[in-house]
Chains A and B, each alone.
Chain A
């Protein structure tokens, strides 16, 4: 893994400057629905294709942002501050 990632604050940087924060998910609103709760906690979508995910620029500005990345090619389609993906 050595692709480049566009940090919204710092620009294009090698991926080893960043920490991966996992898929962008929606937290369930209660513990009532067991499936929804454990799905959120333990089952990842793991799509083969464009995926929305969190990244932290740990060796840079130390800000979180979101990226859309094709998991098959590691092509980064877009990055944006949280909530800003098109």
Chain B
């Protein structure tokens, strides 16, 4: 097709052709075209098949409101063809059509059965019996339903981002009112952003001819000059609490926080309800005007206009000016003939309403009637305009409300919350004229998205769903992609009529337009988060030395260095080194530091000598174990606290909370990232470490559970003599900046002893041999210290109140029901962690939380929760493994390895 002559207001660039694929064939449009305008220019009238009946559908609103032009672009479903600019090489495909857009089998099914089958409730009524047949029905229905296809192999390219924005004023809608408000706000010195969905600014001005386009251009220039930030094309998804508006633009979601939100969303032109009002070639007045004025396309040869207000007359004049033959304007209103129409020589049939469109795959004509007087007009295009409906959905989302203005027969804003303004046509200035649904025999669509017809609405009311809210739930009217933009008013009027109430006296009610305002890609909602991975200062050394790095909470830690067993053996026999920088580290300092710890831990810290370290668990007030670690006393008023690797943030929060609750004179500083830590462990640990420091490491000077400041290889360190892994060990804490440096010095010093770096897995085996628990693996939210086998840590005789005390006292009175015990396997098999312990009655009675085969001990060892009755040392238990095997085991108490801790103290 050829385009009309160049004119102000057009969006196309005639010098730049753009070629894209439509159903695999090449189509050429112009830069500035949308997919829909380029396709129409290429003579494509059918763009999709409808949701339920698979009826052919063509361009209807041309402004992104209706579902008719949803297409699949480069594998992405539900793209609005009328809002998406064409790009070279894009592949566009229709949705919901099988085997092809031209002949759809499901459409044939719908045609054969509409009178009895596919009406509302069809699925519920038809497929319920016989029950066994559902699995066959389901296959068919899954195929028939839905819009577009998700290709599992399809991968989005590019990155999706979230951006936080803060502005004084956010204007939603770039029409005349929105632009004026934005200009005024910006000139007032307020930081202002304006969001416009369309490809042109100016709203209706942008498609109403050259003079209006000039005015739109002027406003846009003024806005630019005033410093308004124009976000376009982009759409506001909705209004959320705290004046939060997500704005979607290409691959970015902007989270706008606005001091003031200006809702200038204007109106949406409404369809009329008549027979076959969905045939390709039936189009809204504004759509026709957009095609003529913005894309310079003549959308047909002979047009008939049916209208309920002046918008249809505007469209008729534009089409006539573009050279189309406008056969007549059938006007639902009675009254004088319009002068502009007379000037263009167009017949004005006042008082006429459309009865039905003619045609099978496309419009070939229309029947209009005034009372019993009928006229049949032939045309290849039918332009309809059913008045407009103000878009106040965002006002309601913002917490406002609307009321029905009886005089003007529209909804107008009622309560407008603080920080929100509603402007322009969105306030309901345009009078909406009800559509007259006449008695056509053919199908009349109320809702294009969900294929709801007047018959469906009638049936729903007939079956007792006697309000819009109920009928909506039954028929799904207003529940499709348009969220009621094209069907809310008409369905309300229709239900009022079915109920026999005067729509103006007793409204059938309104439904809520929920966010998102438009189809929104999940990729945008799930845009990249900001949770960076944590790496220790020694991370790169691990990676270079073959460490198998895996996630441990937010951290990356080496599982092992490829030889778990040798690493474990090295610790037992000579020397191993592990990076424990991931431990949480808190400094608790102040006159009341000791008092705070006394209240946070079930054991004592106030009586601790300086330069000592003590193990501790932290309980919740319900007595459950939250975390564990060590506490070293550095001075009268300063403690160094370590937590589990994943517990650092939570413990800092916990400590500071109670510090605030009790208002204690104490400061808590989280130094987790500032301090690196390594554990040098094994019989040769002392000899190796002594090479690097003048600090007296002898057992007499620095015994087990000692804590001391020392310089090691020139690095200031805090050494804790503790032994999570069961051998003589030194946990060395030092500045992160020296992380890799000191690690390498220790490796060098240990070389003569065959030192091996060891990872998480060897550490798990070593600690299990000692019966040391891992909080969160061997305990859960119900584990309290007595049942977890740590009665020695709970000092119920402490004089002060401490967190968890009262619940633990209560548990002690009640008696223990379960116990965390050790077990040894009796047949060499290693059960899976999580395997069940079988009780006397054969039912699951407990569970295995940790288990490994210990080479050192030559047997399977583990920890398990068992009922109190099975918790005695030496009790025989049975483990039911997920593999199906039954594994006999014996309950043990205490450590499996070095039970008296002689090695630790050596």
- A interface with B by C-beta (< 8 Å): 1-4, 14-15, 19, 21, 27-31, 34, 37, 40-42, 54, 56, 58, 62-64, 74, 82-83
List the A side residues contacting B241 at CB < 8 Å: 1-3, 74
Asked whether B338 is an interface residue with its Cβ less than 8 Å from the other chain, the reply is: no
A55-B244 Cα distance, complex, nearest whole Å:
21
A63-B809 Cα distance, complex, nearest whole Å:
32
The segment out of B339-347, B655-663, B830-838 that lies at the interface is B655-663
Q: Please tell me if the beta carbons of B242 and A3 are within 8 angstroms of each other in the complex.
A: yes
Q: Please tell me if the beta carbons of B653 and A56 are within 8 angstroms of each other in the complex.
A: yes
Indicate with 1 or 0, residue by residue over B790-804, a CB within 8 angstroms of chain A CB atoms. Answer: 000000000001000
List the B side residues contacting A37 at CB < 8 Å: 806-807, 810
Instruction: Name which residue of chain B comes closest to A29, CB basis.
Output: B801
- Cβ distance A41 to chain B, nearest Cβ, rounded Å: 5
Asked whether B652 is an interface residue with its Cβ less than 8 Å from the other chain, the reply is: yes
Which positions 645-682 of chain B face chain A at CB distance < 8 Å? 649, 652-653, 656-657, 660-661, 663, 670
Q: Identify whether the interface residues of B are mostly helix, strand, loop, or mixed.
A: helix
List the B side residues contacting A41 at CB < 8 Å: 621-622, 807
Instruction: Name which residue of chain B comes closest to A4, CB basis.
Output: B242
- B interface with A by C-beta (< 8 Å): 240-242, 244, 257, 621-622, 649, 652-653, 656-657, 660-661, 663, 670, 801, 805-807, 809-810, 813
Contact of A2 among B242, B621, B660, B806 (CB under 8 A): B242
- 8 tightest CB-CB pairs across the interface, nearest first? A31-B806, A31-B809, A64-B660, A82-B660, A2-B244, A3-B242, A2-B241, A4-B242
Instruction: Name which residue of chain B comes closest to A65, CB basis.
Output: B660
- Kindly name the residue among A1, A2, A29, A74 whose own CB sees the greatest number of chain B CB atoms within 10 A: A2
- Cβ distance B12 to chain A, nearest Cβ, rounded Å: 40
Q: Please tell me if the beta carbons of A64 and B657 are within 8 angstroms of each other in the complex.
A: yes
A14-B166 Cα distance, complex, nearest whole Å:
11
List the A side residues contacting B242 at CB < 8 Å: 2-4, 14-15
List the A side residues contacting B660 at CB < 8 Å: 63-64, 82
A3-B398 Cα distance, complex, nearest whole Å:
12
A29-B802 Cα distance, complex, nearest whole Å:
10
- Cβ distance B596 to chain A, nearest Cβ, rounded Å: 14
List the B side residues contacting A56 at CB < 8 Å: 653, 656-657
A1-B621 Cα distance, complex, nearest whole Å:
28
Q: Please tell me if the beta carbons of B656 and A63 are within 8 angstroms of each other in the complex.
A: yes
List the A side residues contacting B622 at CB < 8 Å: 41-42
A74-B417 Cα distance, complex, nearest whole Å:
14
Q: Please tell me if the beta carbons of A30 and B806 are within 8 angstroms of each other in the complex.
A: yes
List the A side residues contacting B809 at CB < 8 Å: 31
Contact of B257 among A14, A19, A40, A62 (CB under 8 A): A14
Q: Please tell me if the beta carbons of B656 and A64 are within 8 angstroms of each other in the complex.
A: yes
Contact of B807 among A4, A31, A58, A83 (CB under 8 A): A31
Given the known A-B contacts A2-B244, A3-B242, are A83 and B257 also in contact in the complex, defined by CB atoms under 8 Å? no
A63-B656 Cα distance, complex, nearest whole Å:
7
Instruction: Name which residue of chain B comes closest to A82, CB basis.
Output: B660
Known: A2-B244, A41-B807, A64-B660. 7 other contacts (CB 8 A): A4-B257, A14-B257, A21-B657, A27-B801, A31-B806, A31-B810, A54-B657
List the B side residues contacting A62 at CB < 8 Å: 652-653, 656, 670
Q: Please tell me if the beta carbons of B653 and A19 are within 8 angstroms of each other in the complex.
A: yes
A82-B656 Cα distance, complex, nearest whole Å:
11
List the A side residues contacting B621 at CB < 8 Å: 27, 40-41
List the A side residues contacting B805 at CB < 8 Å: 31
A9-B321 Cα distance, complex, nearest whole Å:
65
- Cβ distance B648 to chain A, nearest Cβ, rounded Å: 12
Q: Please tell me if the beta carbons of A34 and B810 are within 8 angstroms of each other in the complex.
A: yes
Q: Can you list 15 contacts pairing A with B, beta carbon distance less than 8 Å?
A: A2-B240, A4-B257, A14-B257, A15-B242, A31-B807, A31-B809, A31-B813, A34-B810, A37-B806, A54-B657, A58-B653, A74-B241, A82-B660, A82-B663, A83-B663
List the B side residues contacting A15 at CB < 8 Å: 242
Q: Please tell me if the beta carbons of B661 and A82 are within 8 angstroms of each other in the complex.
A: yes
A2-B243 Cα distance, complex, nearest whole Å:
9
A11-B621 Cα distance, complex, nearest whole Å:
31
A8-B253 Cα distance, complex, nearest whole Å:
30
Instruction: Name which residue of chain B comes closest to A41, CB basis.
Output: B622
List the A side residues contacting B244 at CB < 8 Å: 2, 14
List the A side residues contacting B813 at CB < 8 Å: 31
List the A side residues contacting B257 at CB < 8 Å: 4, 14
Instruction: Name which residue of chain A comes closest to B808, CB basis.
Output: A31
Instruction: Name which residue of chain A comes closest to B658, CB basis.
Output: A64
Instruction: Name which residue of chain B comes closest to A56, CB basis.
Output: B653
A40-B244 Cα distance, complex, nearest whole Å:
35
List the A side residues contacting B649 at CB < 8 Å: 58
A42-B621 Cα distance, complex, nearest whole Å:
10
- Cβ distance B164 to chain A, nearest Cβ, rounded Å: 8
Instruction: Name which residue of chain B comes closest to A66, CB basis.
Output: B660
A83-B801 Cα distance, complex, nearest whole Å:
20
- Cβ distance B247 to chain A, nearest Cβ, rounded Å: 14
- Cβ distance A56 to chain B, nearest Cβ, rounded Å: 6
A40-B621 Cα distance, complex, nearest whole Å:
9
A75-B359 Cα distance, complex, nearest whole Å:
57
Instruction: Name which residue of chain B comes closest to A59, CB basis.
Output: B530
- Cβ distance B618 to chain A, nearest Cβ, rounded Å: 16
A28-B805 Cα distance, complex, nearest whole Å:
11
Given the known A-B contacts A2-B240, A2-B241, are A28 and B652 also in contact in the complex, defined by CB atoms under 8 Å? no
A4-B166 Cα distance, complex, nearest whole Å:
13
A37-B804 Cα distance, complex, nearest whole Å:
11
- Kindly name the residue among B241, B649, B652, B663 whose own CB sees the greatest number of chain A CB atoms within 10 A: B241
List the B side residues contacting A14 at CB < 8 Å: 242, 244, 257
